[in-house]
Amino acid sequence: MGRKYFGTDGVRGRVGEAPITPEFVMHLGYAAGQVLVADRGSLPPDQHPTVLIGKDTRISGYMLEAAMQAGFTAAGVNVLLTGPMPTPAVAYLTRALRLQAGVVISASHNPFEDNGIKFFSESGQKLPDSVEEAIEARLDRPIVTVPARQLGRARRIEDAPARYIEFCKSSFPNRLDLRGLRVVVDCAHGATYHIAPHVLHELGAEVIAIGNEPNGFNINDDCGATHTQALSDAVRRHRADLGISLDGDGDRLMMADATGRIYDGDQLVYVIARHRIQTGYMRGGVIGTLMTNLGTEHALARIRVPFERAKVGDRYVLERLHANGWTLGGETSGHILCLDKHTTGDGIVSALQVLWALRETGETLDAFTADLEIYPQVMINVPITRGFKLEGAPQVGAVVADIEAALNGSGRIVLRPSGTEPLIRVMVEGRDATEVRRAAETIADAVRAAASGG
């Protein structure tokens, strides 16, 4: 059975429009609760399943949190509420507290007008497709509240931030610290605003926090991992040694060196991989995606690290890591998975793995990536109407075939629909920047024409 509501990263959309309405979210909580009640695992018959609900800093989080809580408790599931917490923190706490599931109310890097719901299993990993399909199957049924004696309870847990801060610090070696390092951290006015600065400070760094004053509306607004100019400017202004930029829910990472130069997910994964090869920590190879820069693949080959590509989306990177028994993977966008440290992508933990490499070797980001040539890559997001399929547009395929023939093996073309927005992402990569730009714009024009019926 296909999934109607769940995309590559849960359920997401514009607040107030289906499916991100309080009515739907309450029904989603009820349906998920029914699945948990039906699959109680080792719980005794008189004990309620319990879920954790965290959220980012969007104004709509209050409304959706209340709706989700009502749905779960109506199904007989207890709820623990954390308030604003990063997505990877919810994954960690769900596992650490031995709960049946975790829920994050967040639209990640999207603007505040959007929001979404994503689930974690009891092991702190994203739900398998089969469980998401079981939840969707129950969305067609009406809500039938359990008898009053079986209703779930809800309470807030006050020590969630402190627990997660300690967890993040534990991913950095005890023998090292960050003393003498001035670091700018951009929290994107999101869920890490009260977490990331403390982690770095407690490890000894001098911390300059920006994007740490959320007001419900400014999440990801010209800041964070998707808008890195703010980080670059702040690093230069404060004469910092490094910069760390996270997104609204804390699972993406970009970094900057002392000059303000930005390093993306491909480059940071390479830093971690190279350090682990040097120190003997590397297990297996690296999983990237269709969007991973070809230069990264070539650089990893030079240090004899196997590399494979998964579909775009951290859940698909995770699937391939598990299938191969590997621990390191990531996306250009800054989703980095270090499965020897966490069950899911975590911006703070990933930053600490890069800092570990730099502190232990004494090298800079520039030096660590000196033998990594990033090939020119252009990505154009083409808005489309919902329902448009590339398979039904042979004219686009013809344009792509002509350009691939012209590239003659010296580059790559990737067209894919966004998993979270009504967009077709057009990516062209090659050694000649001018040729790459021209090719990407030609393909984007073809997609626009096809999407508009031209």
pLDDT of residue 144: 96
pLDDT of residue 1: 46
Host H or E run for residue 262: strand 262-263
C-alpha span between 207 and 240 (Å, rounded): 9
Beta-strand pair 328-330/286-289: parallel
pLDDT of residue 454: 63
For residues 436 and 403, the answer to whether their CB atoms sit within 8 Å is no
pLDDT of residue 385: 85
Residue with tokens 């999407």: 451
Looking at the predicted structure, is the pLDDT value of residue 149 above 50? yes
C-alpha span between 240 and 292 (Å, rounded): 29
Catalytic residue among 60, 106, 108, 171: 108
For residues 53 and 81, the answer to whether their CB atoms sit within 8 Å is yes
Measure CA of the first residue to CA of the last residue in the chain; give whole Å: 33
Total number of residues shown for the chain: 454
pLDDT of residue 42: 61
The total of other beta-carbon atoms located within 10 Å of residue 204's CB is: 13
Encode pLDDT of 157-175 as tens digits: 999 999 999 999 999 999 9
Looking at the predicted structure, is the pLDDT value of residue 232 above 70? yes
Asked which of 37-46, 235-244, 282-291 is least confident by mean pLDDT, the reply is 37-46
In the sheet with 154-156, reading across from the earlier edge strand, the strands are: 11-14, 114-121, 101-105, 50-55, 78-84, 154-156
Catalytic (active site) residue 108: yes
What are the structural domains, with CATH classification, of the chain? Answer: 11-159 (3.40.120.10), 178-262 (3.40.120.10), 264-348+360-368 (3.40.120.10), 377-451 (3.30.310.50)
Looking at the predicted structure, is the pLDDT value of residue 85 above 50? yes
What is the CA angle 328-159-252, rounded to 5?
30
Average pLDDT for residues 94-103, to the nearest whole number? Answer: 96
What are the Cα distances from residue 19, in Å, to 64, 93, 179, 224, 378?
11, 27, 47, 27, 32
Q: Could you tell me the pTM of the whole model?
A: 0.90
- Let me know how many helices (H) and strands (E) the chain has, helices first: 14, 18
